[in-house]
Amino acid sequence: MPVVELRDVSKRFAAAPAVDGVSLAIDDGEFFSLLGPSGCGKTTTLRLIAGFESPDRGEVLIDGRRVNEQRPYDRGVGMVFQNYALFPHLDVGRNVAFGLERRRVPEVERATRVAKALEIVRLDPATFLRRMPGQLSGGQRQRVALARALVLEPKILLLDEPLGALDLKLRKEMQLELKALNRSLGITFVYVTHDQEEALTMSDRIAVMDHARIAQLGTPAAIYEDPRTAFVASFIGESNLFEGPVTEAGADLVSVGGPTPFRVPPRSDLLPGRTVMVAVRPEWMDLFPPGRVPAGENAASGTVDEVIYLGETLHVLVRLEHGQRVKVALRNEGQIANPIRWNRGDQVAVAWRPEDAQVLE
């Protein structure tokens, strides 16, 4: 039985749908992410699970029980907000203990659980217990908010973009710590983010949302390597998109015409005359001198527009003969000892294997 389940859930604000017919099931102990751009419905979905919003249609179930009318504090979930929502007039200990005080937990037990929660998030109680929120860094405030949720020992922890205010280095560290907490505590995490790298790093499964609906749901690898739509292909990482009509459907390869002819693996629905769109990741492409593309690979001729140095990779922007610009990501093998051979204005052939072309809906 899923620990969280949404069945055809919809929610509108005025005339606009915030969540439109969303169905999903989240397993016990899973790290599940809701990913998408601003306004796509991911935070509203989280608030529907928490009980801060009520669905206009559909059912919200926790542990198999319908909770549509149940109040947030009766649902057994913890919540970490984007702005942390710490009480500025209470010290760290009182902030973490607030929920326990409301539940009338005895003082001795309360002190023990607060200290344990702070230790879990790597804040030494002896150092931080009596500090005020204004004396903490952004990362420390984030940990206090997390401890306040964990101290209640929830079975489900909901997190609404909790790392958005942190600097890049600390954010990456906290991603790994949250994933480790998920594994060690066995708590189900439902995580909202607009950062695709963050979702790929931490999640067991991801629901990519677009215009109040789920565009695709699956593991990070499945979504990245086999996106269903152009939106998913472009939002999760980067993709070069090509379009054209099927000109020939064979047993081994399907030929697609258009400004950039290419071939893709066969599929039963790829029939002659159908227009298809495919996505090719920049890192799955390579560059060759004109006329020297390996046999069996797709190729398109063009001119190097720009070479962008990004440290571990180099992005080469190529303008194809018909005007489309594509991005090729090359591994940096050391620009001082092994400089890249391509320069702006060079004539090149962009090549990729047919099996690396992802056919989109």
Residue 316 forms part of a structural domain: yes
What is the model's pTM? 0.87
Q: Which domain holds residue 270?
A: 238-360
Bridging pattern class, strands 313-320 and 298-309? antiparallel
Q: What share of the chain is helix, strand, coil (3-state, %, to 5)?
A: 30, 35, 40
Residues 145 and 163 in one domain: yes
Residues 182 and 33 in one domain: yes
Q: Which amino acid is at 217?
A: L
Same domain for 209 and 250: no
**CA angle at residue 307 from 302 to 308, to 5 degrees?**
140
Q: Is the dihedral of CA 83, 89, 94, 97 positive or negative?
A: negative
Say yes or no: 199 and 178 in one domain. yes
Question: Pairing mode, if any, of strands 262-264 and 254-256?
Answer: antiparallel
Shared domain for 288 and 333, answered yes or no, is: yes
Q: What is the largest CA-CA distance in the chain?
A: 78
Q: Domain total for the chain?
A: 2
User: In sequence order, which residues have a C-beta less than 8 Å from that of residue 227 and are 6 or more positions away?
Assistant: 216, 233, 236, 239, 279, 358, 360
Looking up tokens 């005359």 gives: 273
Residue 207, SS3?
strand
- How far is residue 174's CA from residue 146's CA, in Å, rounded to a whole number? 11
**Number of H helices and number of E strands within the chain?**
9, 20
pLDDT in tens, the chain (361 residues): 899 999 999 999 988 899 999 999 999 999 999 999 999 999 999 999 999 999 999 999 999 999 999 998 889 898 888 777 899 999 999 999 998 998 899 999 999 999 999 998 889 999 999 999 999 988 888 889 989 988 988 999 999 988 877 778 878 888 888 898 899 889 999 999 999 999 999 999 999 999 999 999 999 999 999 999 999 999 998 999 999 999 999 888 999 998 999 999 998 889 999 999 999 999 999 999 999 999 999 999 999 999 999 988 999 999 999 999 999 999 988 877 778 889 999 999 999 999 999 999 8
Whichever domain contains 8, its CATH number is 3.40.50.300
How far apart (Å, rounded) are the C-alpha atoms in residues 128 and 95?
Answer: 12
Do the domain assignments include residue 98? yes
Residues 248 and 219 in one domain: no
Position 295 in a domain: yes
| CATH at residue 282 | 2.40.50.100
216 and 243 assigned to the same domain: no
Burial bucket for residue 158 (CB in 10 Å: 0-12, 13-18, 19+): buried
275 lies in some domain:
yes
- Is 151 within the bounds of a domain? yes
Residue length of the chain: 361
